[in-house]
Amino acid sequence: MLLGVNIDHVATLRQQRREDDPDLGSAAIEALSGGADGITIHLREDRRHIQDIDVETIRELVPRLNLEMAASDEMIEIALRCKPNYVCLVPERREELTTEGGLDVIRNEARISASVDRLQSNGIDVSLFIDPQIAQVQAAHRTGAILVELHTGAYSVSSTPRLELAEIKAAASYAKMMGLIVNAGHGLKLGNLAPVAAISDISELNIGHSIISRSIFVGLRQAVAEFKRLLPAT
Ligand code: PXP
């Protein structure tokens, strides 16, 4: 299973002073040294952490870049210019603290399909960040996207996560059966990671907040290594 490390919060810290520290490129290299298989950054409409220049810098530095973004014309133009390895389309609301829910592909199918087509016909694979529901997987499949990322947020905040885990397993299995590549992420921590890492239909986990938090105490390279150790060897 692959580990994608989201380094947005290194940029969050940098933006507190709007100076150069901590250096985002160095963070990406440290994460790769700790065993990250790819780097994820989310260019938000409000530019609260990642800036446009970061996308270009990180693109040059890392072999596998996942760019998270809203399916807006502005973001699609940026992706077409910077050519990340893949794009993960997410819903975005300015007032949210983090990506709170998955894309409603069912209700926005025509618009999302057009975005998927525009990106994939230009050589950028597209992942759709969706809640682990069979109907959303079916809609994601109809858009032609190659990947889905299952939102594990509800699982991560549940005090009795058996039901949420079963939903993730069922959605992963169905998506794989439909021929989609299945990723998952949001809210995963050292303490809740193992049951999700045991789902063999999942190819990659994307983790940000808990890795960056852990890195304050042990450094980014070691924090990534600690998470990577919990994933099945590829
Ligand atoms: N996947 C997606 C699509 C996200 O938007 C985020 C949060 O930026 C993550 C994964 C990582 O979530 P967390 O920071 O809680 O690990």
What pLDDT score was predicted for residue 93? 78
Give the Å distance between the CA of 178 and the centre of ligand 1: 24
Q: Which of 30, 42, 49, 151 is catalytic?
A: 42
Rounded to 10°, the helix 24-33/8-15 angle is: 150
Bond before 161 cis per omega within 30 degrees:
no
What architecture does CATH give domain 2-228?
Answer: Alpha-Beta Barrel (3.20)
Structural contact between residues 218 and 192, judged by C-beta atoms closer than 8 angstroms? no
For 147, other C-beta atoms within 10 Å of its C-beta total 21
The domain segmentation of the chain, as residue ranges, is 2-228
pLDDT at 15 over 90: yes
3, two tokens: 């580990």
pLDDT at 68 over 90: yes
181, two tokens: 């590549």
What pLDDT score was predicted for residue 191? 96
97, 206, 214, best to mutate for ligand 1 pocket (most atoms within 8 Å of CB): 206
Q: For the whole model, what pTM was predicted? A: 0.96
- At 155, the pLDDT band (50, 70, 90 cuts) reads very high
Give the Å distance between the CA of 185 and the centre of ligand 1: 6
What pLDDT score was predicted for residue 96? 73
- At 187, the pLDDT band (50, 70, 90 cuts) reads very high
Give the Å distance between the CA of 187 and the centre of ligand 1: 7
pLDDT at 51 over 80: yes
